[in-house]
Amino acid sequence: MEHQLPPEGDWRTWVVMGGRGAGKTRAGAEWVRAMVEGARPLDPGKCRRIALVGETIDQAREVMIFGDSGILACSPEDRRPIWEAGRKRLVWPNGAVATVHTAHDPEGLRGPQFDAAWVDELAKWKKAEETWDQVQFSLRLGDDPRVCVTTTPRNVPVLKRLLASPSTVTTHAPTQANSANLAQSFLEEVMARYAGTRLAQQELEGVLLVDAEGALWTSAMLEAAHIDILPEMDRIVVGLDPAASAGAGSDACGIVVVGAQTRGPVQDWRAFVLADATVEGATPSGWARAAIAAMERFGADRLVAEVNQGGQMVGEVLRGVDPLVPLKSVHASRGKVARAEPVAALYEQGRVRHARGLGRLEEQMCRMTARGYEGGGSPDRVDALVWALHELMIEPAAKWRAPAVRSL
């Protein structure tokens, strides 16, 4: 497949970034073969010294060397290297040698020198920075030392810096690109469980998810908030952030459904984000129908709609679709960040959980910072979420804390 072939041109590092099972290991193993064999497989002049760097010895051996897509499985019988376990190295018939090193022992890369390296799953290494630096210092043989990095993306500094380097080239593929070689039951299970989540974007689509610096919500926070089985709700509301205009180039209309368990003291209440029904490019009547349909689907008792942009028109449009819609109009007197901060605090307290399938909402959340929204356009989904959680959690808490005058 195309993403498994090294790009043309002058590069130092080739990053093969993809989802689980996308064929990254096969790409790395075939690249090592090509580096060893060259144009004439048995030509002694093509001998090379190659570093095979995995997170641990076991992972390097079981995946990179002996795995189903590893070097031995990819090598024709007459060119298959011999594994010398005692010396932790592969030796090819033409004299090329590949030695195994690990991210747990960066110092083991001091001293040896190579003209190529295959680095596997760089983004998950605990000592990634230190090990990667040692790999670079060791690549000092030959005319054009190169590195192949095969990894599932993670939001870690070493990978972000590597991808930003002008000497790096990247190929990318989702898990589905290699579906012919994967069990259908695996694909069905992971898609049913994770489709639409940020975890799926990272682990299945192979997309690097980057949290904005100083984000109010982080990927780790949102992953920890995911829940598979939703409890019964005492209240459900729909938050609505209407689009200021209609058409293909307009902002989306944020529609987010949130429920809450409101038994006991208000400080013990829990909220659950149930669905993101946001629509894009819809007419006013179109987003009104979508918001009311979300209410009916989840049995919400109220629609909470921001009216800063549309004023009285928002209510008129909604009641034109359903004259009896239970509507609460809210007017933003504070900025988006000021409204979002107390909601983010609820997440830090572990009081808000997420159903799966909210990837686009969560992507916007991870771009909302104390300085503002660091994504293109408007954080329409986040605004709708914030209004719903203000209605369910923030306002009741404010009333509970407000001092009351005791009558005599």
Q: Which domains does the chain have, with CATH numbers?
A: 2-203 (3.40.50.300), 219-401 (3.30.420.240)
Amino acid found at 120: D
> What pLDDT shows up at residue 408?
47
- The torsion angles phi and psi of 403, rounded to 5 degrees, stand at -70, 145
Q: Is the dihedral of CA 19, 22, 28, 29 positive or negative?
A: positive
Q: What is the pLDDT of residue 29?
A: 94
Least trusted range by pLDDT, from 50-59, 171-180, 321-330, 350-359: 171-180
Q: In this predicted structure, what is the pLDDT of residue 42?
A: 47
Across the chain, what does the average pLDDT equal? 86
pTM of the predicted protein model: 0.59
Can you give the pLDDT at residue 350? 92
Greater confidence (197 vs 23) lies with 23
142-200, pLDDT tens digit by residue? 888 999 999 988 878 888 889 889 999 988 887 777 777 777 877 777 666 666 666 66
Grouping H, G, I as helix, E, B as strand and the rest as coil, residue 144 is coil
Q: Which of 133, 120, 1 is nearest to 56 (CA)?
A: 120
Q: How far apart are CA 24 and CA 304, in angstroms?
A: 47
- Most confidently predicted of 43-47, 62-66, 315-319: 62-66
Contact 115, 145 (CB under 8 A): yes
Q: Is pLDDT above 80 for 332?
A: no
CB 258, CB 270: distance < 8 Å: no
Name the nearest CA neighbour of 150 among 141, 159, 142.
Answer: 159
**Calpha distance 36→74 (Å, rounded):** 13
Cα 14 to the chain's mean position, in Å? Answer: 21
Mean pLDDT along residues 305-324: 83
Calculate mean pLDDT across residues 297-310: 87
Asked whether residue 205 carries a pLDDT value surpassing 80, the answer given is no
pLDDT at 3: 67
For the segment 268-280, the average pLDDT, to the nearest whole number, is 95
For residue range 121-135, list pLDDT tens digits in order: 998 888 999 999 999
User: What whole-number distance in Å separates Cα of residue 142 and Cα of residue 48?
Assistant: 9
How far apart CA 370 and CA 214 sit, in angstroms, is: 7
Q: Which of 100-109, 207-216, 233-242, 397-406 is the least confident region?
A: 397-406
* Contact between residue 33 and residue 74 where contact means Cβ atoms under 8 Å apart: yes
pLDDT band at 39 (very low <50, low <70, confident <90, very high): very low
Is residue 358's pLDDT more than 60?
Answer: yes
The rounded percent of the chain whose pLDDT value lies above 70 is 87
Q: What Å distances lie between residue 160 and 12, 164, 165, 208, 280, CA to CA?
A: 16, 6, 9, 9, 31
